Amino acid sequence: MQNLQGYKPKVPQEVLETIEYIANGNLRNIKMNYNNGNFEFHADSYDGQKKFIIKKQHIPGIISESKMLVQNPNSLNERRERVLHFHKEGLSQTKISELTMTSQKTVSNDLKFLRDQGKIK
């Protein structure tokens, strides 16, 4: 981003880098939020095979940062392993569907299958 050289905005560097990535046409379905020092960004790769999630939180005395790159599962079993993992972490079906790049209904069906297999209660 040539026009920002030398300029020191009050915007975190990760926001500027994300904007540059968007400007290069590498992402779609972009959601970005910056509020009170908290930054959250979600986007899909242009080909739809990956999801990027970046979160940074500032609480007095604590800085928390997480980055996640989620790729489409290669198989049904791989997807169900992910659903099981996120379910055990206590995530909602909606959040699991976002992280597995599937619909909430698919997650619900996977959870039913996993219950029937005795892998979850």
Tens of each residue's pLDDT in the chain, 121 residues: 455 566 555 666 767 777 777 788 778 888 888 888 788 888 888 888 888 888 888 888 888 888 888 888 889 999 999 999 999 999 999 999 988 889 999 999 999 999 999 999 8
Cβ–Cβ under 8 Å, residues 77 and 62: no
pTM of this prediction? 0.65
The residue behind tokens 């699991």 is 96
> Residue 115 to residues 32, 38, 77, 82, 93: CA-CA distances in angstroms?
35, 37, 14, 15, 14
